[in-house]
Structure 1
């Protein structure tokens, strides 16, 4: 036997490796999303609570209240919803995003080696992804909001909730009250938020990756002299910054969406988007409006914890996405017959 000849993997293993390569975007998105979602979910739960509270409260105080009244499970209430739907949302989202970029590249659209072209292609792919995925993700996010705000919704109804209903019971009640339309409460706001937010997110991410040395073939080159960091940190930096800044820009829209959904779930009178936004900023009494600065501060309540969540989830998401992608690229190829 020739000792210098490389040993090929078993054909079954090689075929599995080939399947991983064909579905690389899906495999990378799923594995990275599970880790990042679990790490950032407690912060997402606190963010939803902060958005709907009428009086300001610090994050540590709110966290202590949640822990005292609901225990550790209170931070992870409704966790299984994003974990289950992540298999659909992340896989479909990254597939649409990468297919859109491949289509532009194959047809030589916006294919110059410039930061603007890289950002525009990413933004278009992200907007396509966000708009299409919102039709499937809206009901699941509504249920997640319902589970996170069980105690707040019960209090608005004058009910003292000792033990919140399970997810299945919550879905059954929502469907019984308003039918299938009830699962799409606040959908227009959800659609607008996801289209704008996802488009802006990928616009920023791909633009920053280009600035930090990613080549046109997708390989990471050397980082620029003005940011001499290790190349392994580039995905975390770009993911964190794009996640925080894009989320900050659409955060008021998310606050209005959550408030509209909370009122609908509590059976309260519905309000329009502009009325909801105006009341959040200026208060419920037209004769004694709140100061504009204080109202804007309320709109951005919870942004701090949301920013930490974005840094955690999006930084980890792209770090593990690139790690898994590089691992798949290094897998041995399918051996030739002979």
Structure 2
């Protein structure tokens, strides 16, 4: 059996997998962010249709037909790739570290990777995600602002630095952690994803040849993320609204209350098809690419040990 990777090595493999997977689905990510932020409803031409929920194709065509053209689908690409790397690196680092400490200190197991029950996997995943959020939220806020666009201050511009200056000018350092509370609640999302992933992996490996392949990772990752997204979607929506520029809201409950008043419970799931499509593809590709980067990391380590 291969030796488990260190937290840093595991985090690097996961972060690289995250960047590649997010790069593939980025245009869809831009579309779902516009839908969730109600960007179209805020534009003058669409004010009479504020209660209309734009679908994936309608939103895609509206963005493509804008002044920027198709390049608008890649607005904020750099910030989002940085966010993806930081987010996945932080999560996988803390997840590997917390899981290893639990196995060694609590279980005192000699097995480096024992099978844990679902509740334990969910708890470890939630703790890891919470720790990582404190480091990743500032980049996430900048990425959301840049992706939606509309930085009114031309002096600062639409760059990462420009949005960072605008956030600091408006809200100070606290502005970089807007949406932190719903983000902490959303820690159950990766917890559910990775908890279900680990359980399904155990079942599938037991029923097959016992080998984990990138193809199996893709399938299990897709199923796991779909379930997690459906459960946590209203809070995902509220986080996007909180992080948008000039948001009048101060809490997730305030956001959800206004949406309920305007559109009812259905409004809480505005953009969910786009979110699920993007999230499932991204997560499945993350597990797929992560397996390859893990193999590559092991090979690099093997070569370095031979020197």
* TM-score, normalised relative to structure 2: 0.81
Report if the CA contact (8 A) 1:104-1:121 is conserved: no
SS at match of 2:137: helix
| CA shift in 2, pair 1:273/1:204, >3 Å | same
Q: Which residue of 2 aligns with 1:286?
A: none
Q: CA offset at residue 63 of structure 1?
A: 0.5
**Aligned ranges 1:25-174 → 2 under 5 Å:** 25-53=10-38, 54=50, 55-69=52-66, 70-107=68-105, 109=107, 117-151=116-150, 165-174=158-167
Mapped partners of 1:66, 1:198: distance in 2: 30
Contact 1:110 1:117 in 2 (8 A): no
Q: Given the alignment, which residue of 257, 263, 286 partners 1:278?
A: 257
- CA apart distance, 1:239: 0.9
* Cα offset, 1:134, TM superposition: 0.8
Structure having the higher Rg:
1
Deviation of 1:329 after TM superposition, in Å, equals: 3.9
In the alignment, is the contact (CA less than 8 A) between 1:48 and 1:149 conserved in 2?
yes
Q: Quote the residue 1:316 is aligned against.
A: 285
RMSD, aligned CA: 3.3
Structure number having the greater helix percentage: 2
Aligned to 2:305: 334
Write the deviation string for residues 76-114 of structure 1: whole angstroms up to 9, x where unpaired.
Answer: 111211322344322221121112222233346397x9x
Runs (4+) of structure 1 exceeding 6 A deviation are none
Q: Aligned pair in 2 of structure 1 residues 63, 27: CA closer, same or farther (>3 Å)? A: same
Question: CA 1:34/1:186 → structure 2, altered by over 3 Å: closer, same or farther?
Answer: closer
SS in structure 2 at match of 1:212: helix
Distance 2:206 2:28 in 1: 31
Distance 2:104 2:229 in 1: 31
Structure-2 change in CA distance of 1:214 and 1:23 (3 Å): farther
Give unmatched runs, 5+ long, in structure 2: 39-49
The residue that corresponds to 2:47 in the other structure is none
Q: What is residue 223 of structure 2 aligned with on the other side?
A: 241
| Aligned-partner Cα distance in 1 for 2:251–2:164 | 24
After TM superposition, list the pairs within 5 Å mapping 1:140-289 onto structure 2: 140-151=139-150, 165-193=158-186, 195-213=187-205, 221-222=209-210, 231-262=213-244, 265-266=245-246, 269-270=248-249, 272-283=251-262
CA separation of 1:221 and 1:323: change in aligned 2, threshold 3 A: farther
Cα gap change, 1:261 to 1:320, in 2 (>3 Å): closer
Counterpart-to-counterpart distance in 1, 2:108 and 2:60: 47
The Cα of 1:135 is off from its aligned counterpart by: 0.9
| Cα distance between partner residues in 1 of 2:281 and 2:84 | 17
User: 1:45 offset after TM fit, Å?
Assistant: 1.3
> Residue 50 and residue 85 in structure 1: after superposition, are their counterparts in 2 closer, same or farther (change >3 A)?
closer
List runs of 5+ in structure 1 lacking aligned partners.
Answer: 1-17, 224-229, 284-289
